[in-house]
Structure 1
Amino acid sequence: MDIQHEIDGSKGRYFYSADGGPVAEMTYSVAGERMIIIDHTEVPDAYRGQGVGKALVARAVEDMRHAGKTITPLCPFAAAQFRRHPEWHDVLSR
């Protein structure tokens, strides 16, 4: 799955679209130099049940782990994914 990433100042997003179809996205805010806050995840019905939402969060986890940053998942979907994946807790902001 080809997850894309965009950042513009203090706002960013990870997104996915298959063959020009609808866009699934997870948005976040930059909170200082060492943390991001995931604030919203939206997956269109066309992608439901395909693991797209999880892939968006997983990509953020991978990128933040590599950058030495932490994540605060305010979005209910992202928070649920962190509960399901204790292996991601190294990047979970406490």
Structure 2
Amino acid sequence: MKAGIIFTGTGPILVLTSYDSFDDPKFVEKLARKGIMKFVAHELEVDMVAKRYGQQYKIIMNDVKQEEDLRVLDYNGHNVFYNFSFSEMGPAIRHE
């Protein structure tokens, strides 16, 4: 399981995914089907996300399939951006 912030044209979203990486072609395709063609992704530690999102994290995790799945944990860009410092984010993965 991976967690990450995806910076899109409309702002950041926090996602959970069963894909191996944020540059996996199938992950990129799934985002494209949601209208996200260009993005910058930063991986986050799953335990840190679980701790900060508590019950909301548990609810979403119960809905995530084991393979090839993607769930938005938080789409409130302001909340996502300010819940994590830059030092907590992994290296940038860019797609365009």
TM-score, normalising length: structure 1: 0.27
Which structure has more RCO (C-alpha within 8 Å, separation ≥ 6)? 2
TM-score, normalising length: structure 2: 0.27
